[in-house]
Each structure stands twice: as C-alpha cells, then as structure tokens.
Structure 1
Amino acid sequence: MTSTLNIGVLAHVDAGKTSLTERLLFEAGAIHRLGSVDAGDTTTDTGDIERERGITIRTAVAGFRVGRTRVNLIDTPGHTDFVAEVERALAVLDGAVLVVSAVEGVQAHTRVLMRVLRESGLPVLLFVNKTDRAGARPERVTAEIRRRLTDRAMDTVRDAGTPHARTEPGRWRDPAFAGRVAEALAEHDDALLAALVEDRPPPGPGALTAALRHQVGCGLVYPVLCGSAVTGDGVGALSRALTALLPVTTASPDEGGGQEPRGTVFAIERAPSGEKTGYLRLRAGCLAPRAHVEFERADPADGGPHRGRIIGLEVVGAEDERSRPLVAGEIGRIRGLPGLRVGDRMGPPAAVAGFARPALEAVVRPRDGGDATRLHAALTALADQDPLIRLRTVPEEGLSVLLYGEVQKEVIAATLADDFGVRAVFERSRTTHTERPAGTGSAVEEISPRRPVGAWATVGLRVDPAGEGTGVVFRRVVEYGALIGAFDRAIEETVRETLRQGLYGWPVTDCAVTLIRSGFLPPTTPADFRELTPLVLMRALDRAGTRVFEPVHGFELEVPADVLGPVTARLNGLGARVRETVETVEGWRLTGEVAARSVDDFRAELPGLSRGEGVWWTSPARECPVRGPVPRRARTDGNPLDYEEYLVHRANARRRG
C-alpha cells in the first residue's frame, strides 16, 4: 500500500518558488545540500538557460517523504510565456502551493494563477515567502491576500524583515487561534456556524482539523502560511500541512490490477543520445514494468494511437523500488517509446481548466543558411516536449513557430544554440487568427479513372458551423464500416489536418464535417483518400464561407489617479473596450478587453504613461470577428482551392517521398 501526493509549486517570477522547492527537499533529506538559484545548481532547474536566467522554463519533478506519504513536487514555470507548462502540470496535480513574496506581495501573474487554480477546483495552500528579507511586510501581504486572493490567513510572523524572522504558527490549544479557524470555516459548515452563534466553545482540535481538511480539499478555504525558503523558517510547518490538509491517494498493485491503466504524459526529457523519458501520472489501474501500452494523441490531427513496450519504469520518489509496478496516484518515468509526446494519454482525458492556445507566431531562420535541416530537426525535437510549438514551412519565408510571448522566443533561440548548436534568427511576431464556417457547404468527387489524384476513390463531405468551443467534429451519415478501416481513418485524419488552413490560411475551428458519401474500387490505397479529401473539403468549405476571428484578452489595469486620462486615451487608441473603472485607495482600477495584437504594445508603453507605477495583467478571454481587411496567412498545403496548383504540389511531394 502506497500513499502519494502530487503537489504543484506555482508563483510569479522571483517569488522564491524554486528556492522553496529546494528547501522542502533538503528538510526532508531528499538532497544533502541546498542548491541556489543564483549559483545555478538547484535540483529542478537543470538546464543551462534556467540557471543563467534564474527562471523555471520546464516542469520538473522531485520526490520526498513526509511520514509514510510520498510527496512529488512539481516545480512549474512562473513566467507568463510558459503557461502551457503550467496547464499540463495542473492536469496531474492533487493540490498546489502558491508562493507569494513578502516583499513584492501579490503580483499580476499571482492573481492569474490563483484564478486558474480556483477554476480547476484544486486545493491550494498559500506560502508567503521571504519573511527574512529587508522590506518584508507579511502582515500587509496577508491583508492583500485577503483582499485580492482569499480571506483566510492562519499564521503570523515576528521580527519580519530581518534574518531572525520566525513563523509563529497558531496552536489549536490557543482559544483565540481556534476561534479564528472556526470563524473562517463556519461560512461553509452549518454545525460550526451554529456553535458560534450560540456562543458555545469551538470543537476540539480533531474536529477542527477534520473540518479544515475537508474544506481545503473542496477548494473552499485557502490557508496562508509564512516563512523563508532561505532560513527554513516555516518550511517544516508547510511540509506537515501538505499531508495534513491536502488529499492523499492511497493504492496498491492488487487494488489496481482489475482496471485498465489510465494516465497522462505531462513532461518529456531527452537524453544526449536522443532517448526519451516520459513523466506519466497514473490516475487508475496499475502499470507493470515492460508492459505493452497504447497511447492516444492529445490532438487527433497529430496521428492515431501509437503502441510500444516500456523498457524502463522508475517510480518517482521510490528509486529503490524500480522493479515494482506503478499504481494510481504515482508518477513514473517511462522509457522505450520513441514516439512519445507531451499530452499523450492512456484512457480518456481528465477535465482541467486550461489556457488558450498561443496567440503569436514568428518565422525563424538559421543564421547560417546551411543549417536549415538542422534547425528543422531541432525544432521538431522541441515540439515533442511542447506540442503547442507548431511548425509550418512557409513558402519563400522559412519555418514558423507558435509562441506565447517574446521571452519564450528568446528562450527557444538560446536552447537551439546551446543544446543543438544552431543559431537562429526570429522575425517580428505576428498575431494568429482562426476561421469559423459562416454557413453550410457540400462537395462530392466520384470515382473517375481520368482524375490525376484518388482516381478509384469517392469522397463526399458537408461542412456546418458547430458550437463555440467544440473544435473540429467529424461525423458520418454513411454506414460505419462501409469503408475499410484504414480508408476511413485516412479521411478523418486528413480532414483534421486540412482544416489547419482555412480559406484565408488560418486554422478552422467550431466546425462539423460530415462524411456524406464514400466508395472505392481496387487498387485504391489510403493515399488516394489522403490526396482527394483536401480537394473535396476545401470546395465544401468555400461554399460554406468562413469568418476570420482574432484573439481578445481580458485585462485589469491599476494606475495612479493623476494618469487615468492619458492611459484611457491610449487604450481607446488601441481599440480596447474599458468595461469598468473603479476608484481604489491607490488610484484607479480598469477592467476590459483588448485585442491580443495590442497587448505587447501597451505593456511597453505603460511605464512611461504611469511613471512606472501602473500594474497590468491580461489573460486570453475570447475571440471576435476581425473588423476591416481580412488578414491572410501564406498556405503550405499546395492550395487545394486551386486544382492545378494542388496537382503540382502533390506531384512534387510524391517525387520527394
């Protein structure tokens, strides 16, 4: 029987998240010396770029024990350009620790992270770090947490702002402390509320602990602890709180033997030899060493299921038991599957609140023209670790990659240089768009021996608008099984691949495609359906028409009172919509929406507009139709809308193949 707890550590940049992870491992005896972010020798920031920049870029996992419970710490990125890594970590967590600096306080991205954690329903402990630093103000930060994040705070600090700062955790035997806890819990506990109203003594320590654990597990209460990752103060209390307050998974190989394994790959490591190691969170069942496994892609357009045999399985935090099976709740390192990618899963996906896809793309070229092939191979390897780094070969331009922001672009360039020996140059980032069907359209191509592509195949498709957020839905009105399975899969996979470029070159979403006619004669192959389907689909899409949408971010902005005028004028000039303006103690808080293409421009201008005092954060909100000229993106698929151009493209592809 094993007890496992998977914890995410999240924070705004420089809040001390990685240092806290290091201290937790050290205090538990998992490491024998403390690493330093400044020295670049921390356990979880293993890459050269992470050490140089002092930021976490890739999700890292490290395990330790608290009593009989194995705790897996998942140290996630704090910078907004790496929210995709945070999203994948959330899918495998049992709870989270959100770190707040006692010096800087609640920052913009702290609020974004807290919102995502609350929407995901994950239990959260807040840790106010850096209480030993000059300028530390934990009492004020705790009040700020109550005002901007949650109203539950349970610990205090003395000698704040000095190396002698110490956490003074409340004692259950202290009536004042027990009373404060009872008041905090009474909002969601009728029995406690009745006891307080009737002026009865609060329940004993056992009952209060049980009530607190229940409410924390349900995401109703967010306890706040204080301390310092540098001195270690408060870290022991945090460590104990992890297993005392957060939900622990208990399982054994015998219990999981009757269930099919179900889990998600949330991180990939690649050795210098090229061998991949995948981090798999198992949610159900039991996975034996050397088992034969099948994984589904997160995006069906990336291909169908892939199978293989595990040749190496290590249970994170239990390296002394490498030969034993992985059970539900645990994280394992698996080797032997060269096709493994982040997001691959066994069984159905787990629902989790997430982030929108990247809103930027940039063309990247090798500084040395002879490195084009090496650049493509290197970016393909990076895409295995991050499937959201989509690659497109743009005619007469080069490779294009999807991005969240400019820092991510810099990190990719540094990774290409350091890890792959390829120096790359990125062009200015451009906003990505999407297309949605405006109506319904159909097209059919019957078997025709004179046709240059798919001569012995019949394909008929209908395109309809689908509900918002549905993505691409593939349906059939022809009898399922009327086609050979390989032919049917070829049509569906090609439909999804083709819709990555709509009438204007942008990905098509919220679209239902129905197979309304099919047939074949020998010697048809799946390749015939793959060549014919784009022609039929794009003709149907052309008849339906599409509208192009651009990403819109919600924003919150805090500025001093005397700069409200020029700030508002600039937002209006960028086409932003201010929905609410609220006066605060510090000045004004504005909320609204702004086009994603204007976010970086305003972020760069804000310090000058607000004397450096403005606080601005955004998060992807929705998409809206483009006004004015419709932006186009260069096609890379040979343009199935132009029959002659497409035939030349397919002929060239066959010669290259």
Structure 2
Amino acid sequence: MHIKHTPNIEHTLNIGILAHVDAGKTSLTERLLFETGAIDRLGSVDAGDTQTDTGAIERQRGITVRSAVASFAVGSTQINLIDTPGHADFVAEVERVLGVLDGAVLVLSAVEGVQAHARVLMRTLRELRLPVVLFVNKIDRRGARGDALLADVRRKLAPHLVPMTAVRDLGTPSARALPYALDAEPTFRDRVAEALAETDDALLARVVDGPFPSADELRTALAAQVRAGRVHPVYCGSARSGQGVRALVDGLTELLRPAPTGNGPEPAAATPPRGTVFAVERAASGKKTAYLRLFSGTLAARQRVTLHRHRPDGTRLTHTGQITSLHVVGRPTNGANSPDSTRQLTAGEIGRLTGLTEARVGDRLSDPTGRDDGPRPPHFRAPTLRTLVRPRNAAPGAASRLHAALQRLAEQDPLIHANAEPDGATSVLLYGEVQKEILAATLVNDFGIEAVFEPSRTVRLERPAGTAEAHEEIGRRAPSPSGFWATVGLRVEPTPRNTGIAFRYETELGALPRAFHVAIEETVHTALRTGPHGWAVTDCTVTLTRSGFVGPLSTAGDFRGLTPVVLARALARAGTHVYEPCHAFDVDIPLDALPAVTSCLAALGADIEETAGGTSSWLVKGVIPAGRVRAAELRLPGLTHGEALWWSRPSGDRPVGRDTAAPRSTE
C-alpha cells in the first residue's frame, strides 16, 4: 500500500467503515485512500484488487470477511480506516472492532435506503455513544432518493441529522454533491442551529431569544455534539465517481478530531500501556501479526507485555510475551530499520506487533499485575448455532489436522469456540450459514482440507433448578467406589441470570496440595460444558464441600476422574431446565399484511408484544426463538410483497421444557 506521508502528525483518528452488505463500504474505503493520495490506483470489488479485501475468499466472493486497516493523512491528522464486514453473519467481527474506534462512518445506499443490517449497526453504535457520520452513497444511480431517504433515516436510524451537502442531478450519472458553508449560507446556518438546539437547551435559548450564534460558535457546537454522539452529519456522494468524498474527509477531520483539553497530554510514563487486540493475521510461514489499538501509555519493540482474555466458561487466562517487532500503522516502511515505522506506539495509534505467539482477537493489554481499568470492549453476543465438522477424507491424522486448522481460525474469531469432540469431530459455533460457507472455503484455500459440516443446530443452555449435593469418599484402605484415590464433595446451587459460573471452597485451602485443587476447579468448568440434557450449564455456583487424599497414592488424575462423576450426581439431584436463545424483533410491514405476518410469527413461536402505527404501515415488536429468525426472514418477503423491514437482536432466552433433546439429536 502506498501511503502519502505527512511528517507532522498531531492527531490520530481510528474510524470504522460500516454498512449493510453491498452499500458500497469497501468501494468508499478505496476512494478515500485514492482521493487523499494514499494509493495511486483505484481497486475494484468486482476485480478483487481492493486494498482491504486481501484474502482469497474476500476477492472471490466480493464481500469483506475480516477487518482490515488502511491509513491516510490530511494535514496534521492521520486517519486509520478500518473496513469491516457488512454481512450479518460477521456481526461479531464488527462488534469487536467497535471497541477500538474513535468514530464510525455508516454507509447507506441512496437506492436501497435504510436496510435491515444498517439499523442493527446504528443501534449498536448509538448504545456505545460512538460518533457516527452518515454517508449516502450511489447518488448517481438510477432510483436514488433524496429528501424521502432523509425522512426514512430520521425515522429508522437517528432523529437528529444535519445534512452537510446539497445534491444536484440526483439519480443521474452527472450527479454532484456540493458542500454547504456555514460562513456563506445563512439558510444552512439556520438549519444547523435548529438541529443543534433540539439537544442543547442553552443553544435553543440563543436561537429563540438571541443573540443568534455565530458561524464559528455553530461550528464548535456541531463538532461537540457529533463527538458526543447526539447529532449525526449526513454527507451524500458516490464512491464510484468520487463526488462528495472530499467533503466527507473534511468532515471527519473537523468534526471528529478531539477537542483541546488545555491541560496538555499526560506523561506517557505516568500511565501503563493498555490496549486491545482487534485483528490477527498469519503469514504462509505461520508467523503471527497482531493488530493492537493502544488507549494509554506507550509500547516499543522488545518490550514484555501481559495480555489476558476470558474463556467461554468465565475463567481468565493471562499470558506474557515479548514484542519482537512493532510497526505503527500509517508510518512509511522504508526498510526494516526505518526509524518512522519502528518508533514507539503511543496512545490512539494502531500497531502491528509480532512475537506475541499466544495473542488472539479480543485479548486485552494490561499491566503486569493484571489490572485493566481501561476502556471496556463492547459485549459480544454469543453465536446461536453449532455444527460438527469432519474431514471429508478419513485418512489417519485428517481429524487432527482439521482440528488444528480450526484452532488457527479461532485465533481470528475466538467466538467460534472450536472444541474437539470424543468421536473425532470438531464442534464450532456460528452466527449463520454464510459464515459456515466461508469457513469451508477457507479450510480448502488456506489449509488444503475439505471438510463436511453437519446441519447447524441452535445452541441451548441449562440452568440448575435447585440446590443439591453429592460426594464420594476414599475408604480406609481402598479407593472411592468409582475407583479413584480421592475424596470429593460438591454442592451445586443456582445463581441469578447472566452471572456465569463461580467455584468456591468450604474446605480448608491447605487441606489438599495445590495441584489437586487446580485439578478439581478446572474439571468442574470442563464438566459443566455438558449438562444432564447435553447442553452447557451456566448461572450456578459449585462449592467444594469435602476433600481428601492418600499420599503417595493419590494423583491429580484421580481428582480429574472423580470430580465429573460427583458433579453429574449433584446436577441430576438438583435438576436443570433447558433454555433457548431468543431475539427481540421489530418488523415494519404494509397495512394489509398484518394478519398474515402475525399468524406466521405466532406459528414460528414468536411472542408479539406490541403493534403500533396503522397510518402508513404497522410496526410489530416481540420476541422469537433465535433458531426461527432465519425462517421469519425468508417468509416475510412473500407475505409483504417484499416490503417488510426486519430487525432483530439477541435478547436473553426462555425455557423450552425438560424434554429438550441433547445437541446431537434431531430438532
């Protein structure tokens, strides 16, 4: 990538480019790089030669699968553009990137309008209070809409908008986007003041009673409200022709650049380094590169750092490594020893780090004590589908190679949770069928492995219905009844929802060697992955009530063998209830479609909670099992003449009865 180098960088902005699939997100990224001199030739999604879609699968399919970073400089501001996937199956990739952004550009199509996934993205962005700039793309396409689209945006995405460009010859190849000017256009100044006054009482008083704010005051107020996520500027243009792109660049640098604090920067030495790994790449040689956004402190090559992550069972894993090389994204790479590319990474910047062999996407950088009070990442919704993967070729070692390949892919997407099954298959978690197709293609392209995926199933979970205990003890001169030289007693009790799993001791900590304590606790977390009905057990506390050993006969293996036996008995006595994940949904439908749509949703197990509107359309809200969301999405177009607008998000779970089948049976 050719980067136009500006030596006097004072600010760094990390901006995400987000959109519904096919809105033109990657094309806009390419145009931004070209217009600012970062590249000297435009790539094309159709030709598969864009800067950010570098993977073979991305080039073949024309969709973004992994986040990528590209940079350009405007004056003293460097902008790191993070191109993110647009397909809903890769929403977790988008969510983890949001935690490292200073702002986002949400791309809309002037032809297709406000699409379903754009609504999901905007709601997430607004919940995180991230600054969002809207870019309405494709103004030069036939069918492009202007004022009607802005009305839809206000109704479906965000009510407080400030249109920043006028469009001439909309919907024709000669369409132009002309930026408004606060200094020269009184009408525009009035519109900006009215929009800002809706969320600022002091400014409202100035607008009503005077004196009317000046252009400079409005410019400052607009930037402040955009950075606070209360108001959203709207730019129109075309990534294909470049119309409106320069105005968008100016808006990003003027409206999202941090306001001066007047106190000066805090000395780097006074703050420990904190950051987040949001992307991982592996070269053909196996060399791993981690992309890390730094929030505070500094980093340099040869520095030792501590990373941590939370396992699916809630336990925390910490690992330490040494940075062998560090490249600051956006700095020139004039050889391995370039002083610009290998200088210190400072707060706000993104670095490409090697040497951290255990790094995975989502890892958090903390100080050596493990403290981490830096910015928190967004909560990633868990995948709701599970599938089993087997090699098509049953040759010796094929299953091991497949599992190793899926573990490598889990470094880039930890939420797939690749786990080996007893029969040699590997289970993975998914968000949708497109993600499964991408995994299958990646296994072939990158690892030469043809895999067979079983039909996906909805992931359910179990919670204890009550409290119960079980134990098994060593005899005087004999092992326990199960044949282990160990005594283990466990109590299982339910805890409130979303509290996860906790392990506690009622026994004296010094009563067992440390290795035996570790064996019991680790085995409890492992055993809870499969409850009495075959699903993972959560929201409970497991307490060690009895323990004992016989030296030198007892080993850690005895405790690993006996613990799941005792835990299974305690769970069986307590009983568990099975729950299925649900989505809250909003669906906007034509007036005449209400009876058919509500009947369809009820047949799919949905609980309809609210029906509103009735003038131009109906808005139906409710909750539906996650496993039925896809069916709803497929049936609604036929019931509404293609006019349904569906939006759903994970929203807890609900009981499905104690007779729910285990994961491998047929739904």
* Larger deviation, residues 140-149 vs 440-449: 440-449
Indicate yes or no: 2:359 matched with 1:340: yes
Q: Distance between the aligned counterparts of 1:169 and 1:12, measured in 2?
A: 25
Q: Distance between the aligned counterparts of 1:78 and 1:306, measured in 2?
A: 32
> Aligned ranges for residues 179-258 of structure 1 at < 5 Å?
179-198=190-209, 200-248=210-258, 255-258=267-270
Deviations 1:579-621 (A, max 9, x none): 2223456543322111122222232223333333333232211
Aligned to 1:389: 416
8 Å CA contact 1:454–1:529 kept in 2: the answer is no
Aligned to 1:639: none
Deviation at residue 45 of structure 1 after TM alignment:
0.6
Indicate yes or no: 2:482 matched with 1:474: no
Secondary structure of the residue that 1:153 maps to in structure 2?
Answer: strand
Percent identity of the aligned residues?
57
> Aligned ranges for residues 424-435 of structure 1 at < 5 Å?
424-435=451-462
8 Å CA contact 1:558–1:615 kept in 2: the answer is yes
Secondary structure of the residue that 2:276 maps to in structure 1?
Answer: strand
Change (3 A) 1:526 1:75: farther
Q: Distance between the aligned counterparts of 1:295 and 1:577, measured in 2?
A: 43
Change (3 A) 1:444 1:291: farther
Change (3 A) 1:288 1:456: farther
Q: Distance between the aligned counterparts of 1:364 and 1:615, measured in 2?
A: 34
> Aligned ranges for residues 488-499 of structure 1 at < 5 Å?
488-499=517-528
8 Å CA contact 1:456–1:520 kept in 2: the answer is yes
Change (3 A) 1:417 1:591: same
8 Å CA contact 1:58–1:85 kept in 2: the answer is yes
Aligned to 2:598: 568
8 Å CA contact 2:310–2:317 kept in 1: the answer is no
Deviation at residue 9 of structure 1 after TM alignment:
1.0
Specify the code of the residue in structure 2 equivalent to 1:336.
Answer: G
Deviations 1:547-584 (A, max 9, x none): 11001112222333333333222222222122222345
Change (3 A) 1:161 1:495: same
Specify the code of the residue in structure 1 equivalent to 2:21.
Answer: V
Change (3 A) 1:495 1:344: farther
Aligned to 2:648: 618
Change (3 A) 1:325 1:548: same
Q: Where does structure 2 lack aligned partners over 5 or more consecutive residues?
A: 1-8, 334-339, 367-371
- In angstroms, what is the RMSD of aligned CA positions? 2.6
Aligned to 1:645: none
Q: Could you state the TM-score of these two structures normalised by the residue count of structure 1? A: 0.90
Aligned to 1:99: 107
Deviation at residue 407 of structure 1 after TM alignment:
0.8
Change (3 A) 1:390 1:249: farther
8 Å CA contact 1:366–1:372 kept in 2: the answer is yes
> Aligned ranges for residues 139-218 of structure 1 at < 5 Å?
139-151=147-159, 152-155=161-164, 156-173=166-183, 174-198=185-209, 200-218=210-228
Specify the code of the residue in structure 2 equivalent to 1:354.
Answer: H
Aligned to 1:330: 349
Change (3 A) 1:497 1:202: farther
Deviation at residue 409 of structure 1 after TM alignment:
1.0
Q: Distance between the aligned counterparts of 2:259 and 2:576, measured in 1?
A: 48
Q: Could you state the TM-score of these two structures normalised by the residue count of structure 2? A: 0.89
Deviation at residue 131 of structure 1 after TM alignment:
1.1
8 Å CA contact 1:56–1:78 kept in 2: the answer is yes
Q: Where does structure 1 lack aligned partners over 5 or more consecutive residues?
A: 636-657
Aligned to 2:5: none
Specify the code of the residue in structure 2 equivalent to 1:409.
Answer: K
Change (3 A) 1:283 1:474: farther
Aligned to 2:310: 298
Aligned to 1:308: 321
> Aligned ranges for residues 68-107 of structure 1 at < 5 Å?
68-107=76-115
8 Å CA contact 1:560–1:613 kept in 2: the answer is yes
Specify the code of the residue in structure 1 equivalent to 2:492.
Answer: V
8 Å CA contact 2:131–2:227 kept in 1: the answer is yes
Secondary structure of the residue that 2:70 maps to in structure 1?
Answer: strand
Secondary structure of the residue that 1:357 maps to in structure 2?
Answer: coil
Q: Distance between the aligned counterparts of 1:465 and 1:339, measured in 2?
A: 34
Deviations 1:433-475 (A, max 9, x none): 0111212223344556633789565544332222222222333
1:415 is aligned, of 431, 434, 442, to: 442
Deviation at residue 362 of structure 1 after TM alignment:
1.6
Equivalent residue pairs, number: 634
Secondary structure of the residue that 2:309 maps to in structure 1?
Answer: coil
Q: Distance between the aligned counterparts of 2:220 and 2:516, measured in 1?
A: 57
Aligned to 1:273: 285
* Larger deviation, residues 539-548 vs 445-454: 445-454
1:451 is aligned, of 450, 473, 479, to: 479
Deviation at residue 384 of structure 1 after TM alignment:
1.5
Q: Distance between the aligned counterparts of 2:264 and 2:310, measured in 1?
A: 28
Deviation at residue 21 of structure 1 after TM alignment:
0.9
1:506 is aligned, of 515, 526, 535, to: 535
Deviation at residue 79 of structure 1 after TM alignment:
0.7
* Larger deviation, residues 550-559 vs 401-410: 550-559
Secondary structure of the residue that 2:414 maps to in structure 1?
Answer: coil
